[in-house]
Amino acid sequence: MRSLLHHPSRRAFATVVAVLLGACSPKEIHQAVTGSLQVSSTSITAGAIANDCGCNGAGASPQISWSDPPPGTKSFALIMDDRDATTGHLHRHYFVHWLAFDLPPDARELGAGLPTQSLPGKTQPGTNDVGKPDYAGLCPDAGTTHHYAITVYALDARLGLPAATKAYALLTAIDGHVLARGQILGTYTH
Protein backbone atom coordinates (compact mmCIF):
# COMPACT_ATOMS: atom_id res chain seq x y z
CA MET A 1 0.00 0.00 0.00
CA ARG A 2 2.98 2.29 0.57
CA SER A 3 3.74 2.54 -3.17
CA LEU A 4 0.16 3.66 -3.80
CA LEU A 5 0.66 6.72 -1.59
CA HIS A 6 3.12 8.37 -3.96
CA HIS A 7 0.42 9.33 -6.49
CA PRO A 8 -2.29 11.77 -5.24
CA SER A 9 -5.30 9.99 -6.78
CA ARG A 10 -4.03 6.62 -5.63
CA ARG A 11 -3.30 8.07 -2.17
CA ALA A 12 -6.92 9.26 -1.92
CA PHE A 13 -8.19 5.83 -3.03
CA ALA A 14 -5.89 4.09 -0.55
CA THR A 15 -7.12 6.37 2.24
CA VAL A 16 -10.76 5.56 1.44
CA VAL A 17 -10.01 1.83 1.41
CA ALA A 18 -8.04 2.06 4.66
CA VAL A 19 -10.85 3.99 6.35
CA LEU A 20 -13.45 1.47 5.22
CA LEU A 21 -11.26 -1.29 6.61
CA GLY A 22 -10.73 0.63 9.84
CA ALA A 23 -6.97 1.03 9.30
CA CYS A 24 -6.82 4.79 9.76
CA SER A 25 -8.92 7.79 10.61
CA PRO A 26 -10.05 10.08 7.75
CA LYS A 27 -9.44 13.12 9.95
CA GLU A 28 -5.71 12.91 9.36
CA ILE A 29 -3.96 14.84 6.64
CA HIS A 30 -1.00 12.69 5.71
CA GLN A 31 1.34 15.41 4.50
CA ALA A 32 3.69 17.12 6.93
CA VAL A 33 2.50 20.69 7.53
CA THR A 34 5.21 23.04 8.77
CA GLY A 35 3.46 26.42 8.47
CA SER A 36 1.04 27.75 11.02
CA LEU A 37 -1.73 30.32 11.08
CA GLN A 38 -2.90 32.21 14.14
CA VAL A 39 -6.68 31.84 14.31
CA SER A 40 -8.80 34.05 16.56
CA SER A 41 -12.46 34.87 17.08
CA THR A 42 -14.32 37.73 18.72
CA SER A 43 -17.13 35.18 19.18
CA ILE A 44 -15.01 33.23 21.68
CA THR A 45 -14.40 34.81 25.10
CA ALA A 46 -12.39 33.01 27.80
CA GLY A 47 -12.76 29.80 25.78
CA ALA A 48 -16.57 30.02 25.53
CA ILE A 49 -18.36 30.46 22.21
CA ALA A 50 -21.02 33.20 22.23
CA ASN A 51 -24.60 32.13 22.89
CA ASP A 52 -25.63 33.70 19.57
CA CYS A 53 -23.70 30.96 17.70
CA GLY A 54 -26.12 28.24 18.77
CA CYS A 55 -29.53 27.27 20.07
CA ASN A 56 -29.24 29.63 23.07
CA GLY A 57 -29.38 32.48 20.54
CA ALA A 58 -29.88 33.05 16.81
CA GLY A 59 -27.64 30.21 15.64
CA ALA A 60 -25.38 32.64 13.75
CA SER A 61 -21.90 31.73 12.48
CA PRO A 62 -18.99 32.94 14.63
CA GLN A 63 -16.52 35.63 13.58
CA ILE A 64 -13.18 34.08 12.55
CA SER A 65 -9.92 35.77 11.59
CA TRP A 66 -6.45 34.45 10.79
CA SER A 67 -2.92 35.68 10.28
CA ASP A 68 -1.09 36.22 6.99
CA PRO A 69 -0.38 32.91 5.22
CA PRO A 70 2.89 31.73 3.67
CA PRO A 71 3.84 32.91 0.16
CA GLY A 72 2.18 30.85 -2.55
CA THR A 73 -1.19 30.64 -0.83
CA LYS A 74 -3.94 30.46 -3.47
CA SER A 75 -6.96 29.83 -1.23
CA PHE A 76 -8.16 28.94 2.27
CA ALA A 77 -10.47 26.22 3.58
CA LEU A 78 -12.30 26.15 6.91
CA ILE A 79 -13.88 23.36 8.95
CA MET A 80 -15.76 23.72 12.25
CA ASP A 81 -16.61 20.50 14.07
CA ASP A 82 -17.97 19.26 17.39
CA ARG A 83 -15.36 17.12 19.15
CA ASP A 84 -17.87 15.62 21.60
CA ALA A 85 -20.64 14.60 19.20
CA THR A 86 -21.48 10.92 19.03
CA THR A 87 -22.56 11.03 15.37
CA GLY A 88 -21.22 12.72 12.29
CA HIS A 89 -19.54 12.02 9.00
CA LEU A 90 -16.13 13.69 9.14
CA HIS A 91 -14.15 11.48 11.45
CA ARG A 92 -16.74 8.82 12.07
CA HIS A 93 -17.86 10.77 15.12
CA TYR A 94 -17.00 14.49 14.87
CA PHE A 95 -20.07 16.44 13.77
CA VAL A 96 -19.31 19.07 11.12
CA HIS A 97 -21.16 22.34 11.66
CA TRP A 98 -19.52 24.41 8.96
CA LEU A 99 -17.13 24.11 6.07
CA ALA A 100 -16.09 26.48 3.34
CA PHE A 101 -13.34 26.35 0.73
CA ASP A 102 -11.81 28.40 -2.08
CA LEU A 103 -11.79 31.48 0.15
CA PRO A 104 -9.68 34.09 -1.70
CA PRO A 105 -5.98 34.33 -0.77
CA ASP A 106 -6.39 37.93 0.44
CA ALA A 107 -9.17 36.98 2.90
CA ARG A 108 -8.24 37.27 6.58
CA GLU A 109 -11.67 37.14 8.20
CA LEU A 110 -15.21 35.84 8.06
CA GLY A 111 -17.60 38.14 9.87
CA ALA A 112 -20.14 36.87 12.38
CA GLY A 113 -23.56 35.78 11.13
CA LEU A 114 -22.61 35.20 7.51
CA PRO A 115 -25.30 33.66 5.35
CA THR A 116 -24.06 31.44 2.52
CA GLN A 117 -24.59 34.07 -0.19
CA SER A 118 -22.33 36.57 1.62
CA LEU A 119 -19.16 34.47 1.58
CA PRO A 120 -16.27 36.41 -0.01
CA GLY A 121 -15.17 36.07 -3.63
CA LYS A 122 -15.68 32.63 -5.15
CA THR A 123 -15.83 30.89 -1.78
CA GLN A 124 -17.84 27.68 -1.86
CA PRO A 125 -19.84 26.43 1.11
CA GLY A 126 -19.47 22.73 1.79
CA THR A 127 -22.27 20.52 3.07
CA ASN A 128 -22.40 20.19 6.86
CA ASP A 129 -23.61 17.11 8.74
CA VAL A 130 -27.15 18.54 8.82
CA GLY A 131 -27.03 18.16 5.03
CA LYS A 132 -27.04 21.87 4.18
CA PRO A 133 -24.44 24.15 2.56
CA ASP A 134 -24.38 26.62 5.42
CA TYR A 135 -23.43 27.03 9.07
CA ALA A 136 -25.36 24.74 11.43
CA GLY A 137 -25.85 26.40 14.81
CA LEU A 138 -24.35 24.71 17.86
CA CYS A 139 -26.84 22.81 20.01
CA PRO A 140 -25.48 20.08 22.28
CA ASP A 141 -27.92 18.15 24.46
CA ALA A 142 -29.53 20.29 27.17
CA GLY A 143 -27.32 20.57 30.24
CA THR A 144 -24.13 19.60 28.40
CA THR A 145 -21.00 21.40 27.22
CA HIS A 146 -19.31 20.43 23.96
CA HIS A 147 -15.87 21.35 22.58
CA TYR A 148 -15.66 22.79 19.07
CA ALA A 149 -12.66 23.22 16.79
CA ILE A 150 -12.40 25.79 13.99
CA THR A 151 -9.53 24.92 11.67
CA VAL A 152 -8.29 27.17 8.85
CA TYR A 153 -6.04 25.78 6.11
CA ALA A 154 -3.85 27.85 3.74
CA LEU A 155 -3.64 25.99 0.42
CA ASP A 156 -1.36 26.18 -2.61
CA ALA A 157 -4.33 25.75 -5.00
CA ARG A 158 -7.98 26.61 -5.56
CA LEU A 159 -9.94 23.38 -5.25
CA GLY A 160 -12.85 23.95 -7.62
CA LEU A 161 -14.96 21.37 -5.78
CA PRO A 162 -18.77 21.47 -5.99
CA ALA A 163 -20.73 23.22 -3.25
CA ALA A 164 -22.18 19.87 -2.15
CA THR A 165 -18.73 18.69 -1.01
CA LYS A 166 -18.65 17.11 2.46
CA ALA A 167 -15.81 17.33 4.96
CA TYR A 168 -14.17 13.98 4.20
CA ALA A 169 -13.97 14.80 0.48
CA LEU A 170 -12.61 18.25 1.32
CA LEU A 171 -9.90 16.79 3.57
CA THR A 172 -8.96 14.29 0.87
CA ALA A 173 -8.74 17.08 -1.73
CA ILE A 174 -6.54 19.35 0.39
CA ASP A 175 -4.09 16.62 1.40
CA GLY A 176 -0.81 17.52 -0.29
CA HIS A 177 -1.84 21.19 -0.73
CA VAL A 178 -1.69 22.54 2.84
CA LEU A 179 0.96 25.24 3.31
CA ALA A 180 -0.15 26.16 6.83
CA ARG A 181 -2.98 25.57 9.25
CA GLY A 182 -4.28 26.99 12.49
CA GLN A 183 -7.02 26.14 14.92
CA ILE A 184 -9.02 27.71 17.71
CA LEU A 185 -11.03 25.75 20.25
CA GLY A 186 -14.10 26.83 22.17
CA THR A 187 -16.90 25.38 24.26
CA TYR A 188 -20.64 25.80 24.03
CA THR A 189 -23.12 24.95 26.79
CA HIS A 190 -26.81 24.41 26.23
Q: What is the pTM of this model?
A: 0.83
- Which range has the worst mean pLDDT, 26-30, 85-89, 126-130, 179-183? 26-30
Q: What DSSP line would sit under 166-179, residue for residue?
A: -HHHHHHHHTTTEE
Which is nearest to 136 in space by CA: 146, 126, 144, 145?
Answer: 126
Percentage of residues of the chain with pLDDT beyond 70: 80
- Name which CATH class applies to 31-189: alpha beta
16-41 pLDDT tens trace: 333 333 333 335 567 788 899 999 99
Alpha-carbon torsion angle 61, 184, 65, 47, nearest 10 = 70
Q: What is the location of CATH 3.90.280.10 in the chain?
A: 31-189
